[in-house]
Amino acid sequence: MRDASPVQAILSLFTTPGRAESIAGDLTEERELRGSGWFWFHVFRTTFALFTNALVTAPVTTLGLVAMGFALFVTLAFAAVAAVFLFPFIGSGVRWLVLSLFWWSAALCTGVCLVSVAPRHGMAACLTLAVAGVALLLPYPIFLMLTESPKAWSILVYVSALFAAAPLLAGGAVARRRTASRNHV
């Protein structure tokens, strides 16, 4: 069964490990008949269906987790900005690097916290928060170009913030795998 373990890992983010194994096995068997394009389309389609199912079964819980994750991330991100700007003698390149590391660490911590608090719906909250954050950040370059000429510092901060979705999802995935294997959630 080629490609079953990565698919199983993706699916187990939103369902139990046993169910993920079963779905991955079924999709892998069909891959031989239908091809790789069909296979990956249905892997992502099934993952999206599991994600939306988690949202629909407990929308208040998931949105509460999203709000909690947003509050946690914003608090940690603003603390990082304050910490970085306390040292004005640091050059802008080093400042950007330190700020990026703080933001990405805050995102990783937020993902771990969300899934640790609610193993069944935490990953759905992480994905919702990541998608909402990226959606809010995408129009920023247009706004920036309309108001002023973009500076290197603002572009670097934008890119750092945009890529914070990856550690958020990674933190959630690590915590989900750890809690799923321990509790079989």
Same domain membership, residue 137 and residue 124: yes
Q: Rounded CA gap, 129 and 20, in Å?
A: 23
What does the buried/exposed string (b/e) look like for 54-73 if buried means 16 or more CB atoms within 10 Å of the residue's CB?
bbeebeebbeebbebbbebb
Q: Rounded CA gap, 149 and 137, in Å?
A: 18
Q: Locate tokens 């983010």: which residue?
A: 13
Same domain membership, residue 148 and residue 82: yes
Same domain membership, residue 17 and residue 65: no
Of the pLDDT bands very low, low, confident and very high (cuts 50, 70, 90), residue 1 is very low
Give, as one character, the DSSP assignment of residue 93.
Answer: H
The range of the structural domain enclosing residue 140 comes to 58-185
Same domain membership, residue 152 and residue 62: yes
Domain count along the chain: 2
Give the domain-ending residue among 57, 77, 96: 57
Burial of 181 (0-12, 13-18, 19+ CB in 10 A): exposed
pLDDT of residue 38: 92
Tens digits of residue pLDDT in 164-184: 999 999 999 999 888 866 765
pLDDT of residue 139: 85
Alpha helices by DSSP H, 35-164: 36-57, 59-85, 92-117, 122-137, 140-147, 152-162
pTM (predicted TM-score): 0.80
Q: Rounded CA gap, 64 and 72, in Å?
A: 12
